[in-house]
Amino acid sequence: MSTAEGVATDDAVLYETTPAGVAVLTLNRPDRLNTWGGDIATAFYAGLDRAEDDAGVRAIVVTGRGKAFCAGAQLGAMGGLKGDVAESLEKTDDQKLTELVGERQPYYLTTLCKPVIAAINGSCVGIGLTQALMCDVRFAAAGAKFAASFARRGLIAEYGISWILPRLAGWGVALDLLLSGRTFLAEEAAELGLVKEVVAPEHLMQRAMEYAEDIARNCSPASMAVIKRQAYGDAMREVADASARAEKFLHESLQRPDVIEGITSFFEKRAPNFPGLEGSPWPT
């Protein structure tokens, strides 16, 4: 990977790209287990925008540096919680929460045109878990710890996790994890359908990058963008409506060069050479 120009190693989120067209965003506050705060939020969403706007980037990988992916929110950022907790919480207004979480919420990941793959290298807790679940595909290091620990902090299911978790794992599993706030390991996360694969820690990034670079090389950026919009949008639609929208998207896709290239490369038994994504891929 090549470090992008102007990105210093002390940045809250590192941004790198590969020749195959994968952007890698690495949460870079290992000293605090990459707990989510305004510094990470600002750099993270700026990095996503950069990847989304770059036609040369076809897939995005998100990971953490050090022992954690993201061990929850940086609670101290909400106003000196080390002192009088009650007084500090009373002073926590919408502005302070926005500074902590960022101007966008985790579900923003589902609105991106480009696929987002999480490489969960360690502790994935609270808002860190929500961020990971909003990624499209997840790989996890063996032994990584997960927890939707909100109930154990007197909180509620935050920022869309009550929407995404039941859709990934079913109502029973979601309620178990949300109500108990219990810690579970990557191996159970895989059994529950929350991660695609569990990988030895030393091979995690290699496996995630292999996956990301494969789809970057062989899948149409326009097709992946529309498929993401279908998958997340259709979750709230009746099947007839979803099918009708798919037909509309299909007719529009037939006008793009991606289909010709996809079919031609298949018959010629070669890797496809799809064009980069320019502008919106869906019909008006």
In this predicted model, what pLDDT tens digit does every residue of 46-59 receive, in sequence order?
999 999 999 999 99
Q: Choose the weakest-confidence range: 69-83, 154-168, 255-269.
A: 69-83
Higher pLDDT, 176 or 264: 176
- Render pLDDT for 218-255 as a digit per residue (tens, 0 to 9): 999 999 999 999 999 887 776 566 666 666 665 676 67
Judge whether residue 6 has pLDDT over 60.
no
Residue 157: predicted pLDDT: 87
CATH class of the 13-216 domain in this structure: alpha beta
Residue 85: predicted pLDDT: 41
Delimit the CATH 3.90.226.10 region(s) of the chain.
Answer: 13-216
CA distance 74 to 106: 16
Among candidate residues 252, 196, 202, 248, the one with its CA nearest the CA of residue 222: 252
pTM for the predicted model, two decimal places = 0.82
**Number of neighbouring beta carbons within 10 Å of residue 235:** 12
CA distance 279 to 196: 30
Contact (CB, 8 A) for 132 and 138: yes
Sequence-ordered strand ranges (E) for the chain = 2-3, 13-17, 22-27, 59-64, 68-71, 116-120, 123-125, 137-141, 145-147, 183-185, 197-199
